[in-house]
Structure 1
């Protein structure tokens, strides 16, 4: 019997992105396991979490531990725990992992944002992140990259053997799907939204490129005075005030709504109610919002950079994120040509169906089996 230990200690509110990944993978794995395979979930009951893990069952066991991924003691406490529960494989969704577990190990790798955008962290933190990432990549027997782009980026940045890293794409959560008119109305009422709006959803760090989006929106209003307002939704980091400053400097406040964080259960209705979704990010390991918007039946315009063409396929309308004029032209076309917008909506729903958590689980499980067979 093979027992696969998935480290779900990061399925907490402290790790929004990784928490989403590990909880979706944990829920998708049990249905695809063979009868002689078990999933062991390492979880931390002391930390608040909005992420659901599958309940203990014949195929799923919970092992509770309060050992933090940030602690040095995990280097011996987690391997000891893995021995006690008889794990045959260890999967860490985070680079702060025990480096010697005594069993085959797998690491999920998301992006190189700390390396590609050095301004986000202090030189000391950058050095430490780089060192610990190298250690994790060396320690893992196999690395899962969340896109082909991330795989290529990791191979270019680190001394990794190509056969050691495999791309296994993510997917939208299953609740991202077209919504009823009643649900869309509920969201409009709750968030005081107009009948027609364009949407950006994400954080406001500089690589998300909101300043260029606002410069483009300013030009769009000159060309199309009746353009719908742009709703900018997502958690706001006050360390990066540039987008709000740009909106104020351009007198865009009546055309832009800064919505702030939106409850998870309200996101499908927010996407589905938008005339279009725009995502100008300059760097994404996967770009989940693109596939989420498409799954909800919304036309997508996004940057022709990093993993986004891989995720958006033929369905998205692309622009150069460094050229506000090009962003404006793409937005103008989608907002004024209903047939083009409807075509993008239909293509987007087909594109979103190419990705599923079942597929991600099946491909991840294939790596588990490969590693345990060789051990």
Structure 2
């Protein structure tokens, strides 16, 4: 089969776990699966650079630059049918008068993107299309090929307060329709599968669970020169806690900061926390909280860290703290257990499914409980040693080889189901 993997909407450095999932997916297909041919459609230079090393006889990279998309848009519009021009005209008049699109989408983009991708799918003889980022993107893309959709999470159905009105509206018109339209859904955890059934009434037989795993770069590193180099590069102390998460509200940085304040006042415990991840819409609240609690000396923001440095930083850390309210999976948790980094984590959503008995749990709503569990893990060396051992064993459940096998099965199922529908 020829599988198209649609990643034109992915930008490097902003998508967090989704970008990590995509990079590891391509690397896994390159390493473990040569049964199919894969055509990877990307539109970002950094993503192109990341995929390039994994191209070969069965993985082809199709790069649509911004200039290419503009030129193709102009050409497609020049040959558009009269009824499309009429819809565009009506939509533009509506937008000018009321500052909104009457069709709820940009008809120009709908038409040009559909035409461009249909031509590409025909050109390369694509048999099925995989959308790896929770929605068919753009969600209005009109194609008749079998669709495989990876769903990371549907967090807005449980925590709408973490999103602005515009994001809620976007998700409401794209998430459920995408899930309903897909021939097969790849859920990244059993928890995500459960939420799709619970909130969207998706049939269980339509959902394949494929754990994403992590890069093989996350392992124990004994190269002293490399460790010292990265420590010096980021000015890291000999002991620190690590929390790798973009500053979204659900990542719960605020409670973590309150816990650090409690650790200082109640236990006279002043170990630094290193935060990695892109700045998102809760960043200002986090910075204000650091100021209010006078934690500047204990919190170090590294922002977005190059992928090559992350495994080294994991190796340098003493423990990982993971207070998230909501995860569809939690790739950093798998990265941690592969490295041998003990974890204190939230007891919510998919996190226990991933960590199992290889971590110590706390209530993410309680700063006191977070502080207590951090202190317990930090002070108990025997506990850390036991958790590391359990984590290394548990990591075997999340090898990409199994994930790629399940993903490949999903491609086959989608294609076969579409054939059955036609007969």
Question: Do the two structures share a fold, i.e. TM-score over 0.5?
Answer: yes
Instruction: Give how far 1:353 is off.
Output: 2.5
Aligned residue number for residue 221 of structure 1? 264
Tell me if 1:86 matches 2:129: no
Tell me if 1:29 matches 2:44: no
Among 204, 208, 219, which residue is 1:177 paired with?
219
Instruction: Give how far 1:141 is off.
Output: 0.5
Instruction: Write the distance in 2 (CA, Å) between the matches of 1:210 and 1:55.
Output: 36
1:52-63 matches, within 5 Å, as 52-63=51-62
Instruction: Write the distance in 1 (CA, Å) between the matches of 2:344 and 2:46.
Output: 37
Contact conserved, 1:99 with 1:136, CA < 8 A, in 2? no
Among 222, 241, 256, which residue is 2:299 paired with?
256
Q: 1:323–1:50: structure 2 CA closer, same or farther, 3 Å change rule?
A: farther
Aligned residue number for residue 20 of structure 1? 20
Instruction: Give how far 1:50 is off.
Output: 5.3
* Structure 2: tracts of 5 or more residues without a match: 71-105
The range that moved more, 73-82 or 318-327, is: 73-82
Contact conserved, 1:11 with 1:20, CA < 8 A, in 2? no
Instruction: Give how far 1:120 is off.
Output: 4.6
Tell me if 1:333 matches 2:376: yes
The range that moved more, 214-223 or 42-51, is: 42-51
Instruction: Give how far 1:11 is off.
Output: 4.9
Instruction: Write the distance in 1 (CA, Å) between the matches of 2:46 and 2:340.
Output: 35
Bigger Cα Rg: 2
Contact conserved, 2:17 with 2:331, CA < 8 A, in 1? no
Deviations 1:213-255 (A, max 9, x none): 1221222223432542222232223653222222222222223
Among 255, 259, 265, which residue is 2:308 paired with?
265
1:31-70 matches, within 5 Å, as 31-33=31-33, 37-44=36-43, 49=48, 51-66=50-65, 67=69
Name the structure where helix makes up a greater proportion of residues.
Answer: 2
Tell me if 1:186 matches 2:185: no
1:315-326 matches, within 5 Å, as 315-326=358-369
1:32-181 matches, within 5 Å, as 32-33=32-33, 37-44=36-43, 49=48, 51-66=50-65, 67=69, 71-72=109-110, 73-94=112-133, 95=135, 96-97=137-138, 99-180=141-222, 181=224
What TM-score does the superposition give when structure 1 sets the normalisation length? 0.90
The range that moved more, 264-273 or 93-102, is: 93-102
Q: 1:93–1:53: structure 2 CA closer, same or farther, 3 Å change rule?
A: farther
Contact conserved, 1:7 with 1:41, CA < 8 A, in 2? yes
Give me the CA root mean square deviation.
2.4
Instruction: Write the distance in 2 (CA, Å) between the matches of 1:174 and 1:265.
Output: 12
Aligned residue number for residue 285 of structure 2? 242
Among 253, 260, 265, which residue is 1:210 paired with?
253
Deviations 1:188-220 (A, max 9, x none): 211112111111111122211111112212222
Contact conserved, 2:257 with 2:290, CA < 8 A, in 1? yes
Instruction: Write the distance in 2 (CA, Å) between the matches of 1:48 and 1:168.
Output: 23
Q: 1:140–1:283: structure 2 CA closer, same or farther, 3 Å change rule?
A: same
Q: 1:215–1:15: structure 2 CA closer, same or farther, 3 Å change rule?
A: closer
Q: 1:53–1:141: structure 2 CA closer, same or farther, 3 Å change rule?
A: farther
